[in-house]
Amino acid sequence: MLAVVFDMDGVLLDTESVCRKAWYLCGPQYGIKASSVEPLLRKCVGSNQDKMKETLYLELGKDFPAKDFLQAAAEEIQRELKRDGIPIKEGAPEILTSLYQQGARLALASSTRTSQVEEELSRAGLYGYFHYVIGGDRIKRSKPDPEIYLKACQGLGVLPEETYAVEDSYNGVRSASRAGLKTLMVPDILEPTEEMEELAEGIFRDLFGVKSYLEQNAVIWNTDSKNVSLPDGHCHTDRRHQRAVREDL
């Protein structure tokens, strides 16, 4: 059985570009220089709120109002998403539709809290593709710890070593790799490093590249699967709680 676990922010949804705008807007209000925003953001990509606060304290000092800054940025992000809609990454509908038609088991594993993940996927029209959804509030140890990917595989009823993961961040790739999944990286804010090239089975420019790779390398791929009904917008199960390829980027 083909199984794939996706990250959300920066992989399926282009929310990290929205986050960048919010940080640049809110940063000066909290004493963050414009030149410092990008380095801070890069260190926080793929982290949950607690990890981001730790990073901000480490970089800006214990007196920095990290909680207030992150709250202000989060509110700005939500304002933009409500105003302009959820931005979907190129290739996301195509790869999810293709995998769903193959009968693949699909999960979503995000550091974002589960309720927010479900809301954003629903607003983007992608929620119904997933058989299992887990957010950062349902784990004890966040990425790069493998816990979230192990739980995602458990929720799908599949073995990690037989499952693909699609990630964009360093911590996400580390998490999936440590859990034993075959990890595919689609860089967003962060460029791939030598470590990422070692950990990832493939690095791709976009999700179309991932789709092509799975079509060529997945164990099952039925080209006559177009008659399978597409999802109706609802999750279909409960939500219980050869480094072979690198495309030119």
Catalytic residue status for 63: no
The identity of residue 172, as a single letter, is: G
The total of other beta-carbon atoms located within 10 Å of residue 77's CB is: 20
Three-state SS string over the chain comes to: CCEEEECCECCCECHHHHHHHHHHHHHHHHCCCHHHHHHHHHHHCCCCHHHHHHHHHHHHCCCCCHHHHHHHHHHHHHHHHHHHCCCECCCHHHHHHHHHHCCCEEEEECCCCHHHHHHHHHHHCCHHHCCEEECHHHCCCCCCCCHHHHHHHHHHCCCHHHEEEEECCHHHHHHHHHHCCEEEECCCCCCCCHHHHHHCCEECCCHHHHHHHHHHHCCCCCCCCCCCCCCCCCCCCCCCCCCCEECCC
Is 97 within 8 Å of 73 (Cβ atoms)? Answer: no
Which of 7, 9, 168, 188 does the annotation list as catalytic? 7
| Positions marked catalytic | 7
